[in-house]
Amino acid sequence: MSHTHPSAKSSNRHTACQRLRQRGLTAIELLMTVSITASALTASIDGMRKLTLSQRLQATAAELESELQLAKSTAILKGQTVRLAIQPLAQGSCVLIHTGPKDACTCGAAGPAVCEGDAEVTHLQRHDAKTGVAYLTNNLSLAFSAYRGTVTPTATIKLADSSGRSLHQVVNVMGRIRTCSPDPKPEGYKAC
């Protein structure tokens, strides 16, 4: 019968513990890894959300600029005053280009716009608030003249996303449009 010296048993345990440590992570190391991974994932998701909102805001501003140009061009082409109206809806806003007096046409919650008299709609676009981008300027009606495309009144149309960033479309009397940002560090836009 062989007897193992007590110091040999201790040495064997020490070697066995070292082998276990070399094979994997301790519970604390595992928790730290999970915590760091979760933090990085959260930051990544938040960054993607902000990027998506920023792109939606820029796309909505570009679409509005196109609609303003369309109203001006339509007035000149038709040889009559054309209006661009921004009207509030229960779930967002509506951009409506129409002929006739200021309140001749209104957006419905769904379906076509309703017009009175000889007024007719040439363009209708609904903007859902669920996109995270909203028109802060509602109940606005701009009249584009058939002669030279001038506009009355002049206006600043404000758009904002749900994170607080905003863009403004400034329309001058000649119907020219410029986009600017009131934010401290505008992304590719001049400051307002």
Alpha carbon distance 175, 70 (integer Å)? 11
The per-residue pLDDT for range 48-87, each reduced to its tens digit, is: 888 888 899 999 999 999 999 999 999 999 999 999 999 9
Quickly state the pLDDT bin for 1 (edges 50, 70, 90): low
Residue 24 pLDDT greater than 60, yes or no: yes
**How confident is the model over 31-35, as a mean pLDDT?**
73
Show the tokens assigned to 86.
């921004």
In the chain, where does DSSP find H-type helix? 6-23, 27-78
Which of 16-36 are b and which e, b meaning 16 or more Cβ less than 10 Å from the residue's Cβ? eeeeeeeeeeeeeeeeeeeee
**How confident is the model over 24-40, as a mean pLDDT?**
72
Alpha carbon distance 186, 2 (integer Å)? 82
**By the 8 A CB rule, do 169 and 68 touch?**
yes
Query: In 3-state terms, what secondary structure has residue 52?
Result: helix
pLDDT score at 72:
94
Give 59-62's long-range contacts (Cβ < 8 A, gap of 24+). 60/127, 60/131, 60/133, 60/159, 61/159, 61/167, 61/169, 61/179
Place of tokens 């020219």: 176
Alpha carbon distance 21, 4 (integer Å)? 25
Residue 87: other Cβ atoms inside 10 A: 19
Place of tokens 């404000």: 158
The per-residue pLDDT for range 74-128, each reduced to its tens digit, is: 999 999 999 999 999 988 999 999 999 999 999 987 778 999 999 999 999 999 9
pLDDT score at 41:
67
Domains of the chain and any CATH numbers: 32-191 (3.55.40.10)
Query: In 3-state terms, what secondary structure has residue 70?
Result: helix
pLDDT score at 48:
81
Residue 14: other Cβ atoms inside 10 A: 10
For residue 64, report the phi and psi dihedrals to the nearest 5 degrees.
Answer: -65, -40
pLDDT score at 46:
73
Residue 3 pLDDT greater than 70, yes or no: no
pLDDT score at 12:
59
Residue 151 pLDDT greater than 90, yes or no: yes
Tell me the percentage of the chain whose pLDDT exceeds 70. Answer: 84
Measuring CA to CA, which residue among 100, 132, 92 is closest to residue 117? 100
- The overall average pLDDT reported for the chain is 84
The per-residue pLDDT for range 5-18, each reduced to its tens digit, is: 555 555 655 665 56
